[in-house]
Structure 1
């Protein structure tokens, strides 16, 4: 995904305020053993880009002054009540160095899961992204989580899914193995099933 930015020379609260008043958003680009670069971006274009999942989880081609560099979006500061982006941070990536970043999870086959269709189970998504490490060229836009076979009462953990080639969980998640999703039978469904069973029992004729 390509992003166009422009160099800015002025910094400070006053300069940033003037930028925002003119429809621009200040930002910085840092990392890869290079000097921090001050940039500005068109606010409306940035606002719409931030609504796309891919903008948050993919390597971006950031063009500044006609020169492109690969970056990750690292931080966004929003106005507390206005629809306004106050500041953005981009981190340069080195194609030869592993990076740590969060990747969104896409949950699949929940509607066709037998526990959902036949037993009234409800599948809850406990977390919606995973922090992974990989080389920039291996970074996936998202990670698929197949919920086709999770049964009622079961949970699915991070280590239960197959990660794309070259992608690993960061160390603390490897140790914690957090829950990604869980399948439960709602109390109302259990209660209805019990009541139905009791009613069926009452209708039976005692053996002579």
Structure 2
């Protein structure tokens, strides 16, 4: 996929705000022999790339008559507003070895009938070439029971991918379900009131 960009001649908060209002995202291109280059990229095109290839997407970017292969290194997005504030693009080559964090996705969690599925590790640090970066790595939890787990060494990755994590690091474990205690009111239970006893005692004292 090719993403067209334009040079960002001016910088600053006001310029970036105006660009976002026009459907553009401020970006910076850097890495290798490429000088730091401020750019504007189209928001819809960038979102399409994220949706199709994920946060580790590799694609070509065209700007100022040039074409460069890039990796999405980082981006900042508003927590409340669905708005990108900036994007970092790393210039790369086709055979360059890259270290990236790949999301770990648990599959077949519905087969765990007893116990609580607890994911300890959400991503895996790997090294590979740009065209071999996985969008995600699946971790099958079928057959796990309470007290059992899966380690980094238990998962399979493509031959072209090298895992850089500790093999003994836990990815997912099956814990014991905990029962929630009944809420405490902090007040002692009131003794039931016996209706009529006080009135009867008053009547007996009058008769005497």
Q: Select the structure of larger CA radius of gyration.
A: 2
**What runs of 5+ residues in structure 2 fail to find an aligned partner?**
180-208
Counterpart position of 2:12: 12
Is the helix fraction higher in 1 or 2?
Answer: 1
- Separation (CA, whole Å) in 2 of partners of 1:157 and 1:24: 42
How far apart, CA to CA, are the structure 2 residues paired with 1:184 and 1:141? 28
Cα shift readout 1:56-75 (whole Å, capped 9, x = no counterpart): 02312323346442211112
1:109-148 matches, cutoff 5 A: 109-112=108-111, 116-117=112-113, 120-148=114-142
Q: Which blocks of at least 5 consecutive residues in structure 1 are unaligned?
A: 189-208
1:1-208 matched pairs, under 5 angstroms: 1-47=1-47, 49-50=49-50, 52=51, 54-65=53-64, 67-79=66-78, 81-112=80-111, 116-117=112-113, 120-170=114-164, 173-174=165-166, 177-188=168-179
Q: Secondary structure at the match of 1:70?
A: strand
Q: Secondary structure at the match of 1:187?
A: coil
| Cα distance, 1:155–1:48 mapped onto 2, change above 3 Å | same
Return closer, same or farther for 1:81/1:123 CA change in 2, 3 Å cut-off: closer
CA contact (8 A) 1:127 1:180 kept: yes
Deviation digits for residues 138-187 of structure 1 (CA, Å, limit 9, x no counterpart): 211221212123222012111211121121222xx237x42211112313
Provide the alpha-carbon RMSD of the alignment. 2.4
The secondary structure found in structure 2 opposite 1:86 is strand
2:109–2:142 Cα contact (<8 Å) kept: yes
Pairwise CA distance, 1:91: 0.6
Number of residue pairs matched by the alignment:
179
Kept after mapping to 2: 8 A contact 1:47/1:85: no
Aligned partners of 1:69 and 1:92 also within 8 Å: yes
**Over residues 121-142 of structure 1, what are the superposed CA-to-partner deviations in whole Å (9 max), with x where a residue is unaligned?**
2222222221111122321122
